[in-house]
Structure formats: C-alpha cells, structure tokens
Amino acid sequence: MLVTGAAGQVGSELARLDWPSGYEIAALTKAQMDISSTESILTGLESVKPDIVINAAAYTAVDKAEENSELAHTVNATSVELLARATALNDIGLIHISTDYVFDGESDHWYAETDPPNPTGVYGDSKLAGEEPVLGMGGMVARTSWVYGALAPNFVQTMRRLANERTEISVVSDQYGCPTAAVDIARAIRDVLLVDQRPTGLFHMAAPDDATWWDLAVAAIDQIEPKVDVRVNKITTAQYPTPAARPKNSRLNSDKLFESFGVRLQPWRKALVEVSAELNAKQAKDSGASS
C-alpha cells in the first residue's frame, strides 16, 4: 500500500499501525510524493508499485482556504482527480478520505451517505469536488470528522496547551460532531481492507457518538496529567466568528460502514483516553528534557 500525506494526522497513524503479515506500507510525505504533480504521482506509483493507494493528503486549513481557494481546490479536488485517474489506469485501488464539512449542518438528524451535501465554505466545497472522481473511478471515499491524535497538531493538543498556559478558556458549545481519533481511522481502513481488498463507494467513518467542541475540550483537559486547574467557559458560534462557517450539526452516521464491513470505531471518550495517555507521556518526556 502507498499512503500519501504521511506527515499528517491520519497518514502518520496509517504509517505506524500494526498491519498483518502480507501487508506492506510505503508512507510518503508531501516532499516524497506531491499529489498536485502528475509526474510526482507517477514516480511514486512506479517506485512503490502498490495494490492500494490510501490518500491521506489534503489541504486542511479550513479558515485559510477561504483566502487560498485555488490551492485548496488544487490539492483537494484537481490532485485527487489526477490520483484517481492514475490509480484506475494502473488497476490500483484507491481509498480517499473526505469530511463532514461537505454538509451545511442544517439537518436535525445524523448525516447518512444518502443525505445531499451542501458545503458552506471553500474547504468543504473543494473536498466534495474531490469525492466525485474517486467514486466515478471505482474507489472508496471515507468521510470522517473532528480528527485528533497524538502525532500532528489538532484541537485536542491546542486545548491541552491552552489549559497549561491559562486559568480560563472559552470554547464553542453549540456545534455538534463526532470527535474521531486518527488512529481509529487508520484501524478502520485496515479492517475494511481485511474484509475487502478493493472497497468501493461512499462511507461515513467517524466515532459512533457525538460531542460539542466544549465537551471535547473539557474531556481532553480532564485527561491531562499532572492535573491542571482551568475554567472552561461555554460560548456560542456567534461569539467566536471564523472566516469559514462551521456546520452546527456535522454528526456522521457510520452505520453503513458497520453493515458493509463489520467495522465500527470506538466511542470518542474511550479513544481520547488512549490518545491522552500518549500525549501525557510525551509531555512528561518533554518537561523532563527541559528541566
């Protein structure tokens, strides 16, 4: 297998995951394989000769995308089309990761794959445009949400840092989603491949339970060792304006993934304990090194 975007949250978890014997993984960073270059894609495919490509590369800066629309569309749509064509032409399977931000968040139910997307920002728009060529050429699109982990920057790590620096922080409490550990996405992809080596179609792949950003912040801070004393205030989306609008409901219903492959991700609080243990160990090591 060839993994793109190997320095990112999901790419790095795919790279370090335990794969069963018979599975070999080549995880390539942007410097090693730039998916916006046809030449780079073809060189990568030629050198690795994979059976499957897992595309974890993306332009994920949701707010910056509003200004950098061209780059977001290049990486998240045009490049994915290049990758989809190159893999289809060479009879290579493709698993591509997409996002809950393809939805506008106006629904009052959990989003299923059959719900019509309607992105409200450049990032979601570019990611939706990237889904089409993958599905059109027989690949698998796995939409996930609110990704966090121990290896690359994310909301959980930001909350832990702020909790160590401040006595009070304010977090949005009126947006709902499914916080999903990057390691669980990697495991789910592995487990899908163990069932079907050429998965196709659109699937939601997120934690089975929901939270607000405030819930996630409080739970993440609660896991910090040694304990910190910080007040976490609830604020509304209106009190925290961002360049890109966020869906107020981006809960993904991942039942189809379970029905098709028997794969279900663990509840987010359980996954958070696992990720936090690694972050605590890193924090202890870093503070030991600096004292």
Ligand X SMILES: NC(=O)c1ccc[n+]([C@@H]2O[C@H](COP(=O)([O-])OP(=O)(O)OC[C@H]3O[C@@H](n4cnc5c(N)ncnc54)[C@H](OP(=O)(O)O)[C@@H]3O)[C@@H](O)[C@H]2O)c1
**DSSP for 146-165, written as a single string:** SEE-SSS--HHHHHHHHHHH
Residues 147-186 that bind ligand X (CB under 6 A): 147, 152
> What minimum distance in Å lies between the beta carbon of 100 and ligand X?
6
Note whether 86 binds ligand X by CB under 6 A: no
For ligand X, the closer of residues 34 and 230 by Cβ is 34
- Exactly one of 1, 2, 3, 8 binds ligand X (CB under 6 A); that residue is 8
Calculate the CA 130 to chain-centre distance: 15
CA dihedral 285, 286, 290, 291 (to 10 degrees): -40
CB 76 within 8 A of CB 129: yes
Note whether 120 binds ligand X by CB under 6 A: no
DSSP label of 235: E
For ligand X, the closer of residues 56 and 134 by Cβ is 56
Nearest residue to ligand X by CB is: 8
Half-sphere exposure of 281 (CA within 13 A, CB side): 8
Q: How many residues does the chain have?
A: 291
Note whether 146 binds ligand X by CB under 6 A: yes
> What minimum distance in Å lies between the beta carbon of 167 and ligand X?
27
What residue has token string 């719900």? 115
- Exactly one of 17, 30, 174, 202 binds ligand X (CB under 6 A); that residue is 30
Tell me if the bond preceding 226 is cis, omega within 30° of 0.
yes
Note whether 45 binds ligand X by CB under 6 A: no
Note whether 53 binds ligand X by CB under 6 A: no
Active site residue 123: yes
For ligand X, the closer of residues 75 and 230 by Cβ is 75
**Distance between CA atoms of residues 53 and 82, nearest Å:** 13
For ligand X, the closer of residues 130 and 291 by Cβ is 130
Given 101, 123, 148, 176, the catalytic residue: 123
> What minimum distance in Å lies between the beta carbon of 140 and ligand X?
13
Question: Is residue 78 exposed (0-12), middle (13-18) or buried (19+ Cβ within 10 Å)?
Answer: middle
Q: Is 147 helix (H, G, I), strand (E, B) or coil?
A: strand
Contacting range for ligand X; rule: CB under 6 A; set: 5-13, 45-53, 83-91, 235-243: 5-13
Binding site for ligand X (CB under 6 A): 4-5, 7-11, 30, 34-36, 56-60, 75, 79, 97, 99-100, 127, 144-147, 152
* Catalytic residue ranges: 123
